[in-house]
Amino acid sequence: MTQHPPAIEVDQLSFQYGERHALRGVSFSAEQGCMFGVVGPNGSGKSTLLRILATLLRPSSGTARVFSIDAQSSPRAVRKTMGVVFQGTSLDDKLTVRENMQFRGKLYGMRRSKLASKIKVSLESGGLMERADDRVETLSGGMRRRVELAAALLHEPPLLLLDEPTTGLDPSARHAFWEETARQKKERELTVILTTHLMDEAERCGSLALFHLGELIALESPDEMKRKMGCDVVSMRAADASALAEELSARFGMRCFCSGNEARFNAPDGREWVGKLLEMFGERIDSVAVSKPSIEDVFLARTDYAAPPEDAD
Amino acid sequence: MGVWPIWRRDFTRFYRQPNRVGGALGAPLLLWLFIGSGFGDAFSPPAEVEMGYLEYFFPGFIALVVLFTSIFSAMSIIEDRREGFLQSVLAAPVSRASIVTGKALSAASQALAQSLIALIPAFFFLDDFSAAKAGFILAALAALSFGLSAFGLAMAWRMDSTQAYHSVMNLILMPMWLLSGAMFPLTTAPGWMSWLMRFNPLFYAVAALRSSFYGATEAEALTGVPTAWAAGAAVAFGLVGFGAAVWAAQRPEA
């Protein structure tokens, strides 16, 4: 469809922390202009992957190429092509918003004359002009994230890496962050690589790479992933949901997950279960529902999402 | 590229937190006043040197101010790492060597600025003050500041806790300072101690500082080391410290 080289090409990529394999021979590519989601439980290797793409870690073996540039042999050329928004803050609290932006721009080699006007434009378009000369420590969490985004895009990179960018934000701040990201993506045909735990963020992606224990176990669009499940999700609300889940698992050999007062399982013929469940448990169940699988259901089914390994990254 | 913005950012942080200035200045000042006044009578310099203990101790006090500030400023790399600030710098297209250079220069500038404030009492007992003398004092302080800052950075780069850094630095730097000739001259120290002092890079830096204050003759009588050697060793200490910091920063992250 396109003659452009892929934005990201990863081939047989492995990374080891001492004895622990964070990535095991991962290969995939991501098209230019796409929104590419990397998902998986804690410790699945997604943060390691992002750190290798950002050239902060060197792979133990295999290669990672960004716009056909090898990340290991030309890290500085690769860094110029991308802006990164990290999980935690990367701004200096004691500096003002504008000073942080100036600092970042200079690190990327932007000239003073161009930098001042570029900062002005990006603060204005990000709705940050009013706070430009306030210290970052006085900003709300949502504001800080928007400054991070503006700073990451200051040098106009074609690629944006986001590592769980909305962790700890309230829903409206999350919404604002994504509106801004979507606007920027459209305006400059950005390629966005995103790691996330949040299902609505995963749903926004054109492609989703599902990682589990350092391996890439699926790479599809969210819709494909859901369709491939080929089954229904039966969920029920009950006061003793965990006991119910155990009983069902024991009697029918299915994997029944429990969270709070909800128990759920996958079944090819979901509708038939409604009657059965009511018959078996009657009063113990407050409500039963059958639905098509969500992205969350796909994850639960394909990884041990409910019980992440101890050594999380 | 990258050196100047990093220097500027660190220095901005420094003057926006004025309580740091007081801390690194106050403790050495009290030490100088109390120990300097209390030990005054016990001090017996070589016959050809005529000075009181407060005056003798003064370069040692200045060195301690530089030491505290450099080490404290170099520690900012640990905070930068913990707070996440460093990752955005490491992800930018600047070399590790530029990051270390910017950091070392900025920590050294902070130490230098701090020591200039600490120099104020010198006007009361330094006679024959000249531009050349001021230049020599500044040069000696700059070498000492840069060496200690770079050395602190080399130690701090791999550490993830400021407590660990503090205890390691106390373990290494306090003995180094005690054996630097700051409190007593090499020429009156017992033999085994004078040998330890001769292997101490800080001894040469303080010796150079001493020469800059009192002139070569008096200083050489106290330290037993020619001024040119002391100055050379102080500069070498700075270069070695800088090399160690660049090396520490180049190693791949675990």
Mean residue pLDDT across chain B = 88
The 10s digit of each residue's pLDDT in B24-74 is 788 888 888 888 888 777 777 777 777 888 888 999 999 999 999 999 899
Q: What was the pLDDT predicted at A87?
A: 87
pLDDT at res. B130: 82
Mean pLDDT of chain A: 89
Alpha carbons within 13 A on the beta-carbon side of A202: 25
CA distance A168 to A87: 10
Question: In the sheet that A35-39 helps form, which strands lie side by side, from edge to edge?
Answer: A82-85, A159-163, A191-195, A35-39, A207-212, A215-220
**pLDDT tens-digit readout, A297-313:** 888 778 765 444 444 44
Query: Is the per-residue pLDDT at A242 higher than 60?
Result: yes
Phi then psi dihedrals of residue B235, to 5 deg: -65, -40
Mean pLDDT of the region A57-64? 94
Task: Over range A57-71, report the average pLDDT.
Answer: 94
Count of H-run helices and E-run strands, chain B: 13, 0
How far apart (Å, rounded) are the C-alpha atoms in residues B152 and B103? 11
More confident residue, A271 or A147: A147
A159 three-state secondary structure = strand
pLDDT at A307: 46
Is B18 in a helix, a strand, or coil?
helix
The CA distance from A255 to the nearest CA of chain B, in Å, is 38
> What's the half-sphere exposure (Cβ side, CA atoms, 13 Å) at A28?
22
Rounded distance, CA A97 to CA B207, Å? 45
> Rounded distance, CA A106 to CA B2, Å?
7
Percent of the residues in chain A that have a pLDDT greater than 70, as a whole number: 96
- pLDDT for residue A308: 43
Q: Which pLDDT score, from 0 to 100, does residue A309 have? A: 43
HSE toward the beta carbon, residue A154, CA cutoff 13 A: 31
Task: Report the C-alpha gap between A241 and A261 in whole angstroms.
Answer: 5
Question: What local confidence, expressed as pLDDT, does residue A304 receive?
Answer: 62
Within 10 Å of residue A169's Cβ, how many Cβ atoms? 17
Say whether B89 and A107 touch across the interface (CB within 8 A): yes
Please state, in angstroms and rounded to a whole number, the distance separating the CA atoms of residues A55 and A49: 10
| Section A8-12 average pLDDT | 95
Average pLDDT over residues A179-192: 91
Query: Residue B93: which of A58, A90, A109 has the nearest Cβ?
Result: A109
Instruction: Report how far apart, in Å, the C-alpha atoms of B132 and of each of A96, A187, B59, B119, B120 are.
Output: 41, 61, 18, 16, 18
Query: Is A20 in CB contact (< 8 Å) with chain B?
Result: no
Of residues B1, B85, B254, nearest to A92 (C-beta): B85
* CA B186 – CA A148 distance, rounded (Å): 55
Chains A and B form CB pairs within 8 A to the count of 69
A107–B87: do the CB atoms touch at under 8 Å?
A: no
Residue A109 and residue B90: Cβ atoms within 8 Å?
Answer: no
Look at residue B172 in the predicted model and tell me its pLDDT: 92
Q: How many CB atoms lie within 10 A of CB A258?
A: 20
Indicate yes or no: CB of B9 within 8 angstroms of CB of A95: yes
ipTM of the complex: 0.86
Residue of chain A nearest B9, judged by CA positions: A103
β-partners of residue A83 are A160
pLDDT value, residue A310: 43
Model confidence, pTM: 0.84
Q: What is the mean pLDDT of residues B81-110?
A: 94
Residue B15 has pLDDT above 60, yes or no: yes
